[in-house]
Chains A and B, each alone.
Chain A
Amino acid sequence: DTGVSQDPRHKITKRGQNVTFRCDPISEHNRLYWYRQTLGQGPEFLTYFQNEAQLEKSRLLSDRFSAERPKGSFSTLEIQRTEQGDSAMYLCASTDISNIQYFGAGTRLSVL
């Protein structure tokens, strides 16, 4: 068990570009969450997958954001036409029936 992995750890992009982040959860966990965290704040919920089904999306997730979890394994979060306000740490967490959330190290996005 290697824990939750996120890739890349850091991403610098220019405004208007598209970016994609990947999350590999703990292998036996069927629940996967994406959160966004800005400096000095707690994480804010973005979206939730149970297996391959996306069951909840926050109103924070505008039309420029899309997430997938094909085959209920890894997940990707794509942001199209990035804006400076998208700069944040994007965190992925997975859990099983215990509801203890295991977080990855996050992907820090900087939009210039």
Chain B
Amino acid sequence: KQEVTQIPAALSVPEGENLVLNCSFTDSAIYNLQWFRQDPGKGLTSLLLIQSSQREQTSGRLNASLDKSSGRSTLYIAASQPGDSATYLCAVSPTTSGTYKYIFGTGTRLKVLA
């Protein structure tokens, strides 16, 4: 059974710091991995999608890497800003399903202090 773990559960950093969020998954048979952002009481916004054949994806100040064989992904946020404060969720789409559903981790709650 696929399980997704995110470390740390919470993180507080001063504005301007670079930071890394970690995600691990137990089964490497995945179509892809997505990183999402969730603001309190809101839905999720997709930040980056990495196909299983890819090693990384970049969007602005965000860079996500994928090491499928070791079951790990990282989300790197450069020059953090108070507006980055949110919960960041990692999710994998297992090939055993065939429906492209996602299995989510419990998230990392990020607070960027001004």
Contacts and interface: CB of A to CB of B under 8 A. Distances in A.
Interface of A: 4, 6, 31, 33, 40-45, 48, 50, 55-56, 91, 93, 95, 98-106, 108
Contacts of B4: 42
Interface string B30-59: 011010100001111110010000000000
B99 interface: yes
**Nearest 10 interchain pairs by C-beta:** A42-B104, A103-B43, A103-B44, A48-B99, A105-B43, A45-B101, A56-B99, A100-B46, A43-B104, A42-B106
Main secondary structure on chain A at its contact with chain B?
strand
Nearest to A49: B99
B103 interface: yes
A42 B89 contact: yes
Contact of A42 (B32, B91, B97): B91
A106 B43 contact: yes
Contacts of A45: 101-103
9 contacts: A45-B103, A91-B43, A91-B44, A95-B100, A98-B49, A100-B46, A102-B46, A105-B43, A106-B43
